């Protein structure tokens, strides 16, 4: 009985407030749901209906924008066509034109994206070589100076090489070959820049590694003559005489009238030495296929 009496006392104290709260929460909940429900308002919801534009009309609009030299607008129009009619013959045309419009507008990242997408979808298309060529040129046009990171140069090298190797008889192959040489000169120049830095600080091993890259990978570039001369200098500084003599001998064989050879020859003479090629040297093996004389 005492226990029952205590329970009834608690009920009399708290029953009324709890009842009020219980009634209040549903009311608040109803109001909040109503305010968030767009269909509960007086003005009914009207979905926006976007009219479908024929693919041919979108394509011609894109061509008209190109004719008016609005290449950004044209790229967007062709992108709209591609999105509305994916994997259609019109989408295929639009994608290559979108790549062209972006390239002409110098939107190089967009050029690369749409060009690669075209190549992924239509690798055997008649326009595949052109798409690859635009992608390669988009990388090529972003090549920085030799003091900066050469990631774009390396990507341009791979992209131009793809054009030459996959479509060697295309109308784009000749220009791609010429640009490949420019890119190799650029990459070799970067290696020489870093190599000189190490050489000036007498870090001869690090310098040799950079010059070695030029001799091994970029033999046909305009940096090869200096690279051989710098190898002569670095190897002499380390006391590795046979490699220094080999570098000078190979330099003299290919560039006998050059100032770099004259400097290398004088350096060897100052130590009572002369250029002499060692057949076992990595320099001889690397340069075996590169002989001007």
pLDDT tens by residue, 9-46? 344 443 444 333 333 434 344 444 444 444 445 555 55
Residues sharing a CB contact under 8 Å with residue 116, sequence separation 6 or more, in sequence order: 135
| 50 pLDDT above the threshold of 60 | no
Measured between alpha carbons, how far is 255 from 261 in angstroms, rounded to an integer?
Answer: 7
What pLDDT, on the 0 to 100 scale, is given for residue 44?
57
**Size of the chain, expressed as the number of residues it contains:** 293
**DSSP state at residue 267:** H
**Location of structure tokens 């791979």:** 158
Measured between alpha carbons, how far is 212 from 163 in angstroms, rounded to an integer?
Answer: 28
Name the CA radius of gyration of the chain, rounded.
36
What is the pTM for the complete model shown? 0.76
Query: What is the pLDDT averaged over residues 249-264?
Result: 97
Biggest distance spanned by C-alpha atoms of the chain: 122
């Amino acid at each position: 009985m005492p226990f029952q009496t205590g329970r009834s006392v608690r009920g009399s104290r708290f029953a009324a407030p709890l009842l009020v709260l219980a009634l209040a929460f549903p009311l608040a909940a109803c109001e909040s749901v109503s305010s968030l429900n767009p269909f509960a308002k007086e003005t009914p919801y009207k979905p926006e209906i976007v009219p479908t534009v024929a693919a041919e009309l979108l394509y011609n609009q894109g061509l008209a924008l190109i004719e008016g030299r609005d290449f950004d607008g044209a790229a967007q129009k062709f992108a709209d066509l591609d999105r509305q009619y994916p994997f259609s013959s019109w989408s295929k045309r639009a994608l290559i034109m979108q790549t062209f419009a972006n390239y002409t507008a110098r939107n190089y990242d967009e050029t690369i994206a749409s060009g690669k997408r075209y190549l992924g979808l239509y690798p055997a298309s008649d326009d595949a070589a052109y798409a690859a060529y635009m992608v390669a040129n988009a990388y090529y046009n972003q090549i920085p100076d030799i003091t900066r990171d050469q990631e774009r140069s390396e990507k341009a090298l791979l992209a131009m090489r793809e054009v030459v190797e996959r479509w060697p008889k295309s109308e784009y192959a000749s220009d791609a070959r010429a640009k490949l040489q420019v890119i190799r000169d650029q990459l070799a120049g970067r290696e020489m820049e870093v190599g000189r830095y190490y050489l000036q600080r007498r870090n001869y091993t690090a310098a040799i590694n950079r010059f070695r890259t030029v001799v091994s990978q970029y033999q046909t570039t305009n940096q090869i003559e200096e690279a051989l001369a710098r190898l002569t200098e670095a190897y002499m500084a380390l006391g590795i005489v046979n490699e220094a003599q080999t570098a000078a001998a190979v330099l003299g064989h290919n560039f006998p009238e050059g100032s770099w050879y004259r400097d290398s020859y004088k350096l060897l003479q100052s130590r009572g030495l002369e250029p002499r090629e060692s057949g076992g040297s990595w320099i001889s093996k690397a340069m075996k296929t590169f002989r001007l004389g």
